[in-house]
Structure 1
């Protein structure tokens, strides 16, 4: 499982490198394919190492303390992922910029060979587990990578507005992270219910699922209000230009509620559909939700700001 996670990270890094290079060229920006791929791979692997460590720690602690892992593990892991990924991206950028073209090409080829060769020396049983994880997760992560790249593209369409009010940029990471956390909690609970037989394959959500939806919306009001409070406070303390607090609060809660509605529907139908066709929802639902949040969260946030005339 650990090597599968690393291999998925490496392959996803290659895909994201290609996608980010393509989008950069479409936006008229210069970008080297070797730079983008290697930065993505290195940052992804470093982040994966940290996240695997924290995943084990959080899982064991939640079990020992009697906490519900559906309510703790997924949101904490998404939080840690957001916290470590950006610093590792900057670190990877600094490392890659100091390498020669030959070194970059050699490192790129070595990464490809490692991903392709190592599974071949595994025992047969472990290869089967690896193959199943890759078969179920790789297509999903590929789609997620595309959604994440489109999310970045959406934000760049209003970059002038964000630059004129830079305090809004502070809101974006916690807004997307908390949206992903709310979706991950729901995804974990639905996955557990499906595995335990407490949830049937129903086209329309049952009352118990609707109660979970209602709880998600209630939680999102509180969470996205806090996002507005801390975002405004951070901008104020740093002396960064931002909007009046009532405007930020209104935009954050409205966009958050709209995002929660979308996430609830996507989470439910993805979990049900994946389980129905014999796929493990744990390998499918959370990656799709986090990527959906990146894309739809950006669209909801930008859309509400435009609707309210704030950018």
Structure 2
């Protein structure tokens, strides 16, 4: 029995390095690209547009959840023959418009919460930034999601196995740079920014009319809307923490660069464990909470965490040095030492949540993954604040 478990664990470790690690590393590169924009302009955002810090974690998670569910829906429609494997199918534009609207409402609520909690500086400009960014990024991400799903299906690959992580990574890749670019546009030409907003809103109305979306089609997505809105509102916890401790995070420098990548990787590790646990539970392979077989995936993925943590500091630090001229501080290696154990905590939390949801007849596939992604943002933001305090001696 022991030899069998060790053999299975060796196989899982091999799979983790062969299959999972490359996807985690790719996601990390996307996150670090967005983090470069955040790190370079962190002070500008913190001092002039603090409301963006409140909505940032929510927007990042929102886009992954909204378009991840769209990828899953398209995959099902393709297998059922309800969707042509072509970007020209009218249902694609219709679904993208639906997701754009679904994204705009939670974004507005996030902004309103920020204002109600006292973050009113340049509040109207922040609202225009998040609305315009949501429309444009949603349109780009919608067609990217459609392309990835259809391309995988036409190649004979299961879209469910590749679309969700790629969509989440692209969401991270687009979110922060788009917000920063609009900030720069405001500073250089406020009139050009307002004109661009008017054009973007007109574009949104045009594609909405072109898609011929009907009111009853919105009601079909009511459950998705309720879920993503609730999670977006919950993300104000991490957004409020980020805004409150933004000064100390900026003082650490490197953490402002790797913040998006840290949150993304915690969510990825948690989601992978939730998905694997859900599959094992449905197949009856987990007989009890402390079933040894259930933890082989956790142990296998834990072995990849030091690699991700070290490369996160090395690559993020190199980008920071290139942008700011500051060398990687020695204290940054606190992240290298503690990151694997934070990943372990997230994975054990994900396993526990998935297990007990299943015991209560709630399918983890529908609830656990988006909830874990959201909770990982909260845990990750708290982790970043703690690391910042240790690094700057506050």
Please give the range of the TM-score, normalised by the shorter of the 2 chains: 0.7 to 0.9
Of residues 14, 17, 20 in structure 1, which corresponds to 2:111? Answer: 20
Instruction: Tell me if the contact between 2:267 and 2:372 (Cα under 8 Å) persists in the aligned partners.
Output: yes
CA–CA separation in structure 1 for the residues paired with 2:117 and 2:271: 32
Instruction: Tell me if the contact between 2:254 and 2:317 (Cα under 8 Å) persists in the aligned partners.
Output: yes
CA–CA separation in structure 1 for the residues paired with 2:325 and 2:389: 21
1:85 and 2:175 aligned:
yes
Task: Rate the CA distance shift 1:23–1:232 in 2: closer, same or farther, 3 A.
Answer: same
Partner residue of 2:291? 206
Instruction: Tell me if the contact between 1:18 and 1:37 (Cα under 8 Å) persists in the aligned partners.
Output: no
Matches within 5 A, 1:166-185: 166-185=253-272
Of residues 261, 274, 284 in structure 1, which corresponds to 2:345? Answer: 261
Secondary structure, aligned partner of 2:303: helix
Normalising by structure 2, report the TM-score.
0.60
Secondary structure, aligned partner of 2:194: coil
Relative CO higher for 1 or 2, CA cutoff 8 Å, sep ≥ 6? 2
Normalising by structure 1, report the TM-score.
0.73
Of residues 265, 274, 277 in structure 2, which corresponds to 1:187? Answer: 274
Instruction: Tell me if the contact between 2:305 and 2:340 (Cα under 8 Å) persists in the aligned partners.
Output: yes
CA–CA separation in structure 1 for the residues paired with 2:382 and 2:163: 27
Instruction: Tell me if the contact between 1:54 and 1:77 (Cα under 8 Å) persists in the aligned partners.
Output: yes
Residues 147-156 or 53-62, more deviating: 53-62
CA–CA separation in structure 2 for the residues paired with 1:28 and 1:50: 30
Residues 175-184 or 23-32, more deviating: 23-32
Matches within 5 A, 1:26-175: 26-32=117-123, 35-59=125-149, 72-90=162-180, 94=185, 98-99=193-194, 118-120=213-215, 127=217, 131=219, 133-135=221-223, 137-175=224-262
CA RMSD after TM alignment? 4.0
Instruction: Tell me if the contact between 1:39 and 1:92 (Cα under 8 Å) persists in the aligned partners.
Output: yes
CA–CA separation in structure 2 for the residues paired with 1:84 and 1:261: 28
Partner residue of 1:7? 98
1:299 and 2:389 aligned:
no
Runs of 5+ unmatched residues, structure 2: 1-72, 74-91
CA–CA separation in structure 2 for the residues paired with 1:184 and 1:308: 29
Runs of 5+ unmatched residues, structure 1: none
The alpha carbon displacement at 1:58 in A equals 3.8
CA–CA separation in structure 1 for the residues paired with 2:129 and 2:310: 35
Instruction: Tell me if the contact between 1:13 and 1:37 (Cα under 8 Å) persists in the aligned partners.
Output: no
CA–CA separation in structure 2 for the residues paired with 1:208 and 1:64: 35
Query: What is the count of residue pairs matched by the alignment?
Result: 292
CA–CA separation in structure 2 for the residues paired with 1:203 and 1:133: 35
Instruction: Tell me if the contact between 1:148 and 1:294 (Cα under 8 Å) persists in the aligned partners.
Output: yes
Instruction: Tell me if the contact between 2:241 and 2:382 (Cα under 8 Å) persists in the aligned partners.
Output: yes
Secondary structure, aligned partner of 1:99: helix
Instruction: Tell me if the contact between 2:242 and 2:381 (Cα under 8 Å) persists in the aligned partners.
Output: yes
CA–CA separation in structure 2 for the residues paired with 1:180 and 1:133: 24
The alpha carbon displacement at 1:234 in A equals 1.6
The alpha carbon displacement at 1:77 in A equals 2.2
Residues 89-98 or 250-259, more deviating: 89-98
Partner residue of 1:286? 369
Partner residue of 1:231? 316
